[in-house]
Structure 1
Amino acid sequence: MWIKQKHGEKPLVIATSYHDQPAVFHNGFDMSGRFETQIAALTFNLTISNIEPSDTATYYCATTFLYDITFGEGTFLIVKGTSLTTHEVLQQPPIEYVQSGDSVTLECTVNTEGCSEDHSLFWLRHGSRESTAGIVYKNRSDQCEKSYETGSSTQSCIYKLPKTNLGLADAGTYYCAVAACGVILFGSGTKLDITGENLQVADSFFIHVLIFSNIILFLAIVLFVGVQCKKHSEGSPNYEMSLDAHSLLAGNPIKSY
């Protein structure tokens, strides 16, 4: 089956197919003639023609076996159209350099025109070692600082994301995503680079500890080997024989006892 879910709405089944049989459409998705399916062995593809802004949503494919339902990861489709010209999302600066332990406030400015619907704004972070971005915070529509341009119907709304006591886990690129008027827009992102003296001190301290521990380990090994050699020499059964051989080589007779 194919399922469509718009932000904030319940999922809708688009089409289903049983054992590679021709697809059956649901919820009126066959009325416009824009949705088609292609069925083959182990494949069930969905094609949407004449894309419209209302097609912006997340599309999931799923399979059922008895009472078990398995979903795919989903495809998030964002349609760029004329309705997007009434919205603009700005993020500044592109890169923010801060020191470990410091605080910073990220900003996202949303300019709107001709749309009275309240916004839903999400902050997402994408770390350097992560494959996907995750939501870290959601702003309410009443948490923005509103302003109006003189002689214009454009409204600006500034959302803020405060971050305190920053550490390495906070590094990454932060994106603001605005959902309003049936569309979702993303900012260009602000990369948060954690640098500074605190990290350098921590690295320097770690290096010195590592060097010191290696020196202690080396001295311990040398001491252990020296003690073992001394014990081996004192307890060797060939100790007196070596002395007699030395006397013989020196020309001294070997004494018998």
Structure 2
Amino acid sequence: MSKVFFLTFVCCIGAQNIRQPTSLQTTTLGDNVTIECYLPKTDFNIMVWYKQVFETTLQPISRCYNYLNIAKFFDGYNDGRFTVKVCKGIFHLNIFLTKNEDIATYFCGVITFGELKFGPGTFLMLQEEHTSTTVLQEQIVDEVNLGDNVTLMCRVNKVHEDCSRGHNAYWIRKGSEEYNSSIIYTDGDMEEHCEESSGDGPTTQSCIYSLTKRNLHIADAGTYYCAVSTCNKIMFGNGTTLEFKPQHDSNLTTALLITLVTSNIISLIIMISLVALQEALTYTSVSFTNKPRPSKGSEQQSISKHNEVYSKTKSY
């Protein structure tokens, strides 16, 4: 299974101008939450919030005309649980008494000359206690290097429940601030294997979802959460962290060591030369200072002797 949601591409347009600092926001079901959005300094006419629940289409939440600070909320979001904070450069979305249906990706956007631009998005993950279904993730034990392949494992244990829909699994990555563009995605080789067991108790079902990532890049690092959608609920695993073994370049290390030693030697030579020059200048100064200056009487005596010699010479 290889799939990249359409919005994953669309949301990145203008993302460098609209900042949503938190790519994955986690809180407890029923709490209040604020999803932050910082707007660009360029002129725009309208500010908007949109929501996407996994594979569904975009749903408009709110629209606000710039400089008016009066927000309009669309059907389904005008029950008072949603508000916005509007001030210069800020368009935050507040959600009160969060529900399971609020689990989604929230995109902040602006409209400029009829063009809609989105920020990178914030996925809201709500945790709650589950008794009938558990989602477990296995941690990566082996060292992982760039260019390797890795398989992420997610096990779903579920007690049979009567509901019209089955369950689907998704993977959500919380990356670094530099690499946080893909929030909800299933790109990669994803496989599903399920087994049912029944005994004296209720029927249980165990499914294993595996996601294989190939030719790993530095942008693949982060914490991967398995999200399972079943019976109108969404449950999350405990997360699997993917990090790379530090790369050491021996040639680069040797070159840096040689450069460091050479610079230290040159610095030492310059220091010795400066000290020697300072000593030489100090010696010369002392020599000139200590040389005796002839007294005024000595100068007169020398002039007299010179005149006497000159007189004798003239007489001849």
Task: After superposing the two structures, state which structure 1 stretch, 54-63 or 176-185, moved more.
Answer: 176-185
Q: Which residue number corresponds to residue 108 of structure 2? A: 61
TM-superposed deviation, 1:55: 0.7
Q: Which residue number corresponds to residue 18 of structure 1? A: 65
- What is the alpha-carbon root mean square deviation over aligned residues? 3.9
Query: Is contact 1:167–1:194 with CA below 8 Å preserved after alignment?
Result: no
TM-superposed deviation, 1:65: 1.4
The answer as to 2:175 corresponding to 1:175 is no
Question: For structure 1, which runs of at least 5 residues remain unmatched after alignment?
Answer: 212-257
> 1:157 is aligned with what amino acid?
C
Task: After superposing the two structures, state which structure 1 stretch, 121-130 or 18-27, moved more.
Answer: 121-130
> 1:109 is aligned with what amino acid?
R
TM-score, L = length of structure 1: 0.59
Q: Which residue number corresponds to residue 155 of structure 1? A: 205
Describe the superposition over 1:19-70 as per-residue Cα deviations: whole angstroms up to 9, x where unpaired.
224111112311x221122222332222111111111111111110122111
3-state SS of 1:9 partner: coil
The answer as to 2:76 corresponding to 1:28 is yes
Query: Is contact 2:190–2:209 with CA below 8 Å preserved after alignment?
Result: yes
Query: Is contact 1:91–1:107 with CA below 8 Å preserved after alignment?
Result: yes
* 1:103–1:149 CA distance, 2 compared to 1 (3 A): farther
Alignment of 1:1-257 (within 5 A): 1-19=48-66, 20-30=68-78, 32-82=79-129, 84-97=130-143, 106-113=152-159, 114=161, 116=163, 117-123=165-171, 131-132=179-180, 135=185, 136-137=187-188, 139=190, 143-148=192-197, 150=199, 151-161=201-211, 172=221, 175=224, 177-181=226-230, 182-189=233-240, 191=242
- State the distance in 1 between where 2:87 and 2:174 align: 36
- State the distance in 2 between where 1:99 and 1:74 align: 29
TM-superposed deviation, 1:162: 5.3
- State the distance in 1 between where 2:69 and 2:241 align: 48
TM-superposed deviation, 1:157: 0.5
> 1:90 is aligned with what amino acid?
L
* 1:4–1:137 CA distance, 2 compared to 1 (3 A): same
> 1:159 is aligned with what amino acid?
Y
- Aligned-residue sequence identity (percent) comes to 29
Task: After superposing the two structures, state which structure 1 stretch, 126-135 or 2-11, moved more.
Answer: 126-135
Q: Which residue number corresponds to residue 273 of structure 2? A: none
* 1:118–1:73 CA distance, 2 compared to 1 (3 A): same
TM-superposed deviation, 1:105: 5.2
* 1:35–1:171 CA distance, 2 compared to 1 (3 A): closer
3-state SS of 2:91 partner: strand
Query: Is contact 1:91–1:189 with CA below 8 Å preserved after alignment?
Result: yes
3-state SS of 1:175 partner: strand
